[in-house]
Chains A and B, each alone.
Chain A
């Protein structure tokens, strides 16, 4: 286990390094600078500003400096928001995204697993077909289509929920964004659960449990479900990536003050350091979640031997 952990961490480091390098040079290759404003800066002022942020040095040197600072956990100051460091910006904006993402994955897990189990137990009956039809819709329809359609129906026409805004995370404001984020995950989780359940229900130990005379509900809860949802654990990483992508859309449509909304704005404004910080943050998050998923899988499934 320890060896596995070390090896994975050793792979994660070059990955992060690659992320930093790519993002750094791509941002710098972009035309325009963070100091472009309505009013053109006087050349000497611009020189001073550039010098202040160390951007007058050769690109290679800037890159090495950035790497050195980043290793020490210093991602520099924001170029657009005076007096704020990148970490401040991340810190101020992550809470909304985190709350949205966690709520969405929690709801997706509960709803998706229930639907999947029901579909598997009623295999090839109407409940199964209905669930799988919903799952196909959920997989096919991207968030940027569901979001405006749901807003149109439930906010504009029916007026049940507000169309946009965060309102300090009031439940009523969260319903639509969380639903939109959760729908594709519900679809995938229900498919995975259904496939897992169908396979497990055919296995020998479930037959043994039946032969022992256990009740069907006990078989499902205690024996089948535990093994059937194992594949879900390894879906944790991709699910997180999906939620992050989704949050870019959802935070924009619902005008929520989260990281996703901030990322696009910062990229367009050429706020180099903030964009870099966010890319590193997201990459690290995905790497860590993938690692956690693998470890969890090994803990839960004694058949898996990590080497």
Chain B
């Protein structure tokens, strides 16, 4: 090592810094592991394409999703300019499918965010405060866990009408339970860590410790669980739609499309098959990404 490398700004020093061994953070490691997982990478690509299609597809498609054409009913795929055929009202299946995919994904993401906010707040507060508060908060979660929730969602939809906002809230309110349990467990171990002790010694308030120090460190588990919650929400919404309690026409979600397709499948099997394929592909992609993330972020849990 020559003396010039000590001079800030010298070309030699720049060279040295460039070749220096770069430290790898936990997240770099995780990313490398994730990108080595072929199923997860393929799923990310497919899912990315599906998201793009769901967003820009409806404006590119030659037909509008609720455009009723009496002369074009029950057109099989690849006829009359309808790539995936038409339904009993002559509406283009491709246009409806793209729009339904968008609705399903939007519900999946928004309801998951609802569950994320409630679950993380609840779990981290319970875990951090501990003692009696923890005991009571987790008892509440236990109690809610043993409720047959799908019935309450059904009741909720029947009670308050079938608006899309309520679907978000209802499903999000159901899905936060597991999130809060996971977050609590993680918080319990995090709060023993030295940096939390240091923050406490420095006089940081409880609230600030929870939201500035604990919550950011929960990111790993939370990300994994979010990817696994989105498909669960999509299934829940589709389930409601299937029972006729979800998204109302002329809007569509994957669930309503499958439900409608199931009714007409003898006459027009494509109305069932294409939405089913899109649904299955979407759910599998989320699952593979979730599993991949879990293996990447928490390798000991394989």
Interface of A with B (CB < 8 Å)? 11-12, 14-15, 18-19, 22-23, 26-27, 29-31, 136-137, 139-142, 144-145, 147-149, 151-152, 156, 241, 244-245, 248-249, 252-253, 263-264, 267-268, 270, 275, 278-279, 282-283, 286-287, 290
- In whole angstroms, how far apart are the Cα atoms of A211 and B101 in the complex? 57
Is B125's CB within 8 Å of the partner chain A? no
Q: Which residue of B lies closest to A238 (CB)?
A: B145
- In whole angstroms, how far apart are the Cα atoms of A279 and B143 in the complex? 15
- In whole angstroms, how far apart are the Cα atoms of A18 and B139 in the complex? 13
The main secondary structure of chain B at its interface with chain A is helix
Report which of B146, B147, B159, B238 forms a contact with A30, defined as CB distance below 8 A.
B159
Contact present for A145 and B266 (CB under 8 Å): no
Contact present for A11 and B142 (CB under 8 Å): yes
Q: Which B residues are CB-close (under 8 A) to A15?
A: 143, 146-147
Q: Which A residues are CB-close (under 8 A) to B150?
A: 244-245, 248
Q: Of residues B151, B258, B272, which shows the largest number of chain A Cβ atoms within 10 Å of its Cβ?
A: B151
Q: How many residues of chain B are within 8 Å of chain A by beta carbon?
A: 38
- In whole angstroms, how far apart are the Cα atoms of A245 and B161 in the complex? 21
Q: Which B residues are CB-close (under 8 A) to A23?
A: 151-152, 155
Contact present for B158 and A268 (CB under 8 Å): yes
Q: Which A residues are CB-close (under 8 A) to B143?
A: 11, 14-15, 18
Contact present for B159 and A145 (CB under 8 Å): no
Report which of B148, B160, B255 forms a contact with A282, defined as CB distance below 8 A.
B148
Q: Which residue of B lies closest to A19 (CB)?
A: B147
Report which of A140, A148, A270 forms a contact with B262, defined as CB distance below 8 A.
A148
Contact present for A144 and B242 (CB under 8 Å): yes
- In whole angstroms, how far apart are the Cα atoms of A26 and B149 in the complex? 13
Chain B: minimal CB distance from A197 (Å):
16
Is B231's CB within 8 Å of the partner chain A? yes
Contact present for B148 and A244 (CB under 8 Å): yes
Is B284's CB within 8 Å of the partner chain A? yes
The main secondary structure of chain A at its interface with chain B is helix
Q: Which B residues are CB-close (under 8 A) to A31?
A: 159, 161
Contact present for B151 and A148 (CB under 8 Å): no
Contact present for A267 and B272 (CB under 8 Å): no
- B11-55 interface bits toward A, Cβ cutoff 8 Å, 1 = contact, 0 = none: 000000000000000000000000000000000000000000000
Contact present for B155 and A267 (CB under 8 Å): yes
Contact present for A142 and B239 (CB under 8 Å): yes
- B118-153 interface bits toward A, Cβ cutoff 8 Å, 1 = contact, 0 = none: 000000000000000000000100110011101110
**Given A11-B142, A248-B243, is A145 in contact with B276 using a C-beta cutoff of 8 Å?**
yes
- In whole angstroms, how far apart are the Cα atoms of A142 and B273 in the complex? 14
- In whole angstroms, how far apart are the Cα atoms of A96 and B258 in the complex? 26
Contact present for B231 and A140 (CB under 8 Å): yes
Is B296's CB within 8 Å of the partner chain A? no
**Given A30-B158, A30-B159, A248-B243, is A149 in contact with B147 using a C-beta cutoff of 8 Å?**
no
Q: Of residues A18, A149, A252, A286, which shows the largest number of chain B Cβ atoms within 10 Å of its Cβ?
A: A149
- In whole angstroms, how far apart are the Cα atoms of A34 and B104 in the complex? 33
**Given A18-B143, A148-B265, is A26 in contact with B156 using a C-beta cutoff of 8 Å?**
yes
Q: Which A residues are CB-close (under 8 A) to B148?
A: 19, 241, 244, 279, 282-283, 286
- In whole angstroms, how far apart are the Cα atoms of A107 and B255 in the complex? 28
Contact present for A267 and B283 (CB under 8 Å): no
Q: Which residue of B lies closest to A264 (CB)?
A: B243
Chain A: minimal CB distance from B25 (Å):
30
Q: Of residues B161, B255, B280, which shows the largest number of chain A Cβ atoms within 10 Å of its Cβ?
A: B280
Contact present for B284 and A22 (CB under 8 Å): no
- In whole angstroms, how far apart are the Cα atoms of A46 and B131 in the complex? 54
- In whole angstroms, how far apart are the Cα atoms of A270 and B155 in the complex? 10
**Given A136-B284, A264-B154, is A142 in contact with B235 using a C-beta cutoff of 8 Å?**
yes
Is B279's CB within 8 Å of the partner chain A? yes
